[in-house]
Amino acid sequence: MSDENAEKLFLQEKPTLALIFIGSREKTYASVISKEIDSTFAHTTRILAKMEQCGLIRFTFEGRIKFVELTEYGGEVETALKEFRDIIAEEPSENREEKSERKDTGIEGEGEEAAGEEEKEPEQEEELDSLSAEILEKTKKLRNKIESIHRDAVEQGDSRDAISRKLGPYSRDIKKLQNQIERAESPINETVISTLEESEKLLESYLKG
């Protein structure tokens, strides 16, 4: 995997959490990591597969149990990520100086009000690469279709079996998008993956009635 793809991987939240968690354990396995980073098992295995391609982790077996552990290179990356996390968690020294000055001059409240106004600024949407944008658009259309069919079926008083027959085929469409994500040469944006996972959970809830 290229350096660019590795960079995209660790600019996402869950891969970073996963690597740091693996580093905190001598050995662990995918289901534990999935629970720790609050991700689906399928998404976690995709993250681990990309990490293995980068040379960050290795898989070992003890009997039938498949363990995950960091490579030496993975340990170096984990240390760098933790240092980076600690640095950005610290308040910049210039901010501390500004607060001190505001307090000394009696205009601290004014500064806080200004900060509050800045927080109200709408967040800019994250720019997606072409493939992530394509999958996100397909996912949104699929979800809208699923919601529309379910809403119409409920209004018509359809039975749970009838609703399942109408919505069941859309499981294949979700699977196709998941396969597209797995086959992607570069990591798909985390927001896109989360949106697809939410759509899958919504469909499952409709099918269960």
Stretches in the chain below the pLDDT threshold 70: 1-11, 89-126
Exposed/middle/buried for 166, CB within 10 Å: 0-12, 13-18, 19+? Answer: middle
If one counts the domains in the chain, the total is: 2
Please check whether residue 188 lies inside any domain of the structure.
yes
State residue 119's pLDDT score. Answer: 46
State residue 161's pLDDT score. Answer: 87
Domain co-membership, 166 together with 93: no
Q: Which domain holds residue 10?
A: 1-109
For 29, which DSSP code?
A: -
- The residues, ordered by sequence, that sit 6+ positions from 30 with a Cβ below 8 Å of its Cβ are 41, 44, 45, 48, 66, 68
Q: pTM value? A: 0.44
Phi-psi region at 69: left, alpha or beta (left = phi > 0; alpha = psi -120 to 50) = beta
Please check whether residue 124 lies inside any domain of the structure.
no
Query: Of 77, 109, 141, which one is at a domain's C-terminal end?
Result: 109
pLDDT tens-digit profile of 163-186? 888 898 899 999 999 988 888 877
Whole-angstrom CA distances from 132 to 7, 69, 122, 152, 200 are 16, 29, 22, 30, 17
Please check whether residue 114 lies inside any domain of the structure.
no
The position carrying tokens 């000394």 is 104
Domain co-membership, 104 together with 3: yes
State residue 121's pLDDT score. Answer: 43
Domain co-membership, 101 together with 191: no
Domain co-membership, 2 together with 101: yes
Helices 170-183 and 190-208, packing angle to 10 deg: 160
For 120, which DSSP code?
A: T
C-alpha span between 69 and 58 (Å, rounded): 6
Domain co-membership, 1 together with 104: yes
Tokens of 159: 């039975």
Q: Among 174, 154, 176, which residue's Cα sits nearest to residue 164? A: 154
Domain co-membership, 103 together with 186: no
Domain co-membership, 75 together with 165: no
C-alpha span between 198 and 204 (Å, rounded): 10
Please check whether residue 158 lies inside any domain of the structure.
yes
State residue 156's pLDDT score. Answer: 87
Please check whether residue 116 lies inside any domain of the structure.
no
State residue 122's pLDDT score. Answer: 43
Please check whether residue 66 lies inside any domain of the structure.
yes
State residue 183's pLDDT score. Answer: 85
Q: Among 163, 161, 176, which residue's Cα sits nearest to residue 203? A: 163
Measured in whole angstroms, the distance separating CA 6 from the mean position of its chain's CA atoms is: 15
- The CATH code of the domain that includes 17 is 1.10.10.10
Please check whether residue 43 lies inside any domain of the structure.
yes
Domain co-membership, 183 together with 136: yes
C-alpha span between 53 and 139 (Å, rounded): 27
Please check whether residue 123 lies inside any domain of the structure.
no
Domain co-membership, 58 together with 140: no
